[in-house]
Every structure is written in structure tokens, then in C-alpha cells.
Amino acid sequence: MFQVENEQKVCEIGGVKFGGQPGDYPTVTCSSIFQKGDRIFDGKRKQGFDEKKATDLLQTQDRLWKETGVPGMADIVANSGDEFKTYIDFVTSVSDMPFCVDAWIMKPKLEGAAYCAEKGLLDRMFYNSLTVWEQDLETEIREIADIGVKHVLLVAFDQEDQMPSGRIAGTQKLLDAIEKVGAEFESIFVDTSVMNGPATALCSVANRMIKEKGGFPTGSAPSNGSYMWKEAREKWGFKGWAAADAALESLSACLYHDMIFSGPMAGAERIMPAVAMANAFQATAVFSETGRLPKDPNHPLLKLFPDFVDNLKASAGN
């Protein structure tokens, strides 16, 4: 049910492992900070951010990582190179978690990546992202290769074919561009682009196909689907919407997502326990098929349910 036949790549960023066979490692939750509308901005963005609120968010995610076994990452969102410098310095002063540089256009992304190279942070950073809609894709690939970027995210989508096959085609287009430029990266992740909540299922199907074909770690941003579902808040309020959000994130974590972009970091207390349960569910299913327990000793199944794991081992021994 869960196992992928061919060999799977395992990548490591800032001490966190991604990929492998389903059930080997927990799903990494990458949550955003400094995004538009983030609660850490009390006024206009240019007026700065509330450092105490930002510290609380980062430290809460770090605490949940320790408690659940689900690793957390920071998706640092910025509009300029100067913003990236400020935000990267702040995040790395508060936490040792891995992070990515995330901007809508190329120039600030490149400036953020270059700053990470200057500060010796490329082992902890991945580049978010190379996209199929970038008009000057080969230039971007060349630039990040020259900077020395080690870890890169590919965002694959085809507007004309929104089925899993379109995401496969988009992935191949990006891989072909990397090969044409002659660039090499330590880690390549594939994000199969969420359009709405139910369509996240297409990401899971595409992710399995990508893992079968190339062995790459895969993920998507389920939060895009849940946060766009405004009707849920109108019908059921925050609690109802939050339940739907946690369900979508955890379903994704269970089905071929080595990483999820889980939305604003303020949601970590809702999302990370949900992902922990999904990972424990998945790893138990894998054990029933293969007799194999997670490779990560801090996996949620091993960390949160040790007595049950002992029972599983005993049953398998019989």
C-alpha cells in the first residue's frame, strides 16, 4: 500500500532528514513567518516586526518538534534582499531549525540565497523555489548554482493538465532545465502544487509517481487549499475550519508527502500534533506490511507510543 518499489533518495538539511520510503522519517512541517498578514507585524511591514511575538512562534515550533518528533522548518518570506538579511539574522539567532528563502520574484530570492552563502548557512537553507512559470528559468538555475545553493525545491504544475500527469510533466521540465545548464545540487525536492483542498489528493498521487520514477523527496502546500476555503470559516467558525485544515495536513502527511508547507507558524500547535498522529498511523501500516519500523529514532510512532511499539515487536516475533 505505502511502499515504493525503487530506491528512494534521503536528503539532509540542517540535520533533518527528508525522503526515503514512507514510514522511515517523519514528515517535515515547513511553516511560514514574515508572510503578508503575519501577526508579528503590528503595523505596516516597513515599520518592522514584534520580536517577542516572532521569538514565541519560533520557540513554540521548536518545542513541538521535541515533543512530537515532527521536525519544523521556517519558510522565511521576504520582498527584498534587505528584508531577507534582517529576517535570516533574526531566525538563526533564535533557533537552529532549517529554513528556506521564499519570495515571489527572482531577485530577492537570489539576494537571500547569496546572503546565506556569505553567512555560511547554505547547509541549513533550501531555495524556495524553481518554478515552471519563471520566464528566465535557466538564468535562475545558473545564478543559484554559482552562489553554491545545495538544496532546491522544484514547484511543478501544468495549467493545461491539472491531473497528476501535468505535475509529472512540470517536474521533468524543471529537471531538464537543470541538466541543460549543467547545475548540480545535493538535494532536489518536488512540490506538486496545491490548488484547493480536494486537489491535494492529486498531489499525493503525483508524489508517488515522482518517487517511483526518480526517488525524489516530495511534498506540497496543503495549507494553500485550506486557507483558500473561506466558506468553511463562514459556516463553522474557526474551530470547524481548523479541524478541516488539520485533517488536510495530516492526510497529506500520511500519503507520500516527505514535507508539507503547513501555512503560518501560528498554526504549529494545531498542525504538528496532527502530523505526528498521521505519521504514527502510516508507520504502523508500513510495519504491518513489511515488519519494518521507522529509521528515525525520534519518529512519532517510536517517541509517542513506545508501549504499542513493544507490542508490535512482540506480535511480529510470534
Domain membership of residue 231 (yes or no) is yes
Q: pLDDT digit string (tens) for 28-69?
A: 999 999 999 899 998 888 889 999 999 999 999 999 999 999
Residue 135 neighbours by CB under 8 Å, 6+ apart:
none
Domain membership of residue 246 (yes or no) is yes
Among 25, 92, 64, 12, CA closest to 292: 25
pLDDT for res 186: 97
pLDDT for res 205: 97
Q: Give me the phi and psi of 93, to 5 degrees please.
A: -80, -20
Verdict on whether the full-model pTM lies above 0.85: yes
Split into its structural domains, the chain has a count of 1
Comparing 114-123, 135-144, 154-163, which segment has the lowest mean pLDDT? Answer: 154-163
pLDDT of 318 higher than 60: no
Domain membership of residue 145 (yes or no) is yes
**Beta 28-33 vs 16-19: how paired, if at all?**
unpaired
Helix (H/G/I), strand (E/B), else coil: 276: helix
CA gap 191, 260 in Å, rounded: 9
Domain membership of residue 6 (yes or no) is no
pLDDT for res 46: 83
Domain membership of residue 14 (yes or no) is no
Domain membership of residue 256 (yes or no) is yes
Mean pLDDT of 197-226: 96
CA gap 187, 18 in Å, rounded: 10
pLDDT for res 157: 82
pLDDT for res 78: 97
* Percent of all residues in the chain with a pLDDT value above 90, rounded to a whole number: 92
Domain that holds residue 226: 27-317
CA gap 281, 298 in Å, rounded: 15
* Percent of all residues in the chain with a pLDDT value above 70, rounded to a whole number: 100
| CATH number of the domain within which 225 lies | 3.20.20.20
- Compute CA distances 256 → 52, 193, 202, 216, whole Å: 36, 14, 11, 11
Residue 116 has which C-alpha cell? 546565506
Among 1, 13, 39, CA closest to 217: 13
Q: H or E stretch including 283?
A: helix 268-290
In this prediction, residue 1 has a pLDDT band, given cuts at 50, 70 and 90, of confident
Chain-wide mean pLDDT for the chain? 96
pLDDT for res 148: 98
Mean pLDDT of 211-227: 96
Mean pLDDT of 109-130: 98
pLDDT of 6 higher than 70: yes
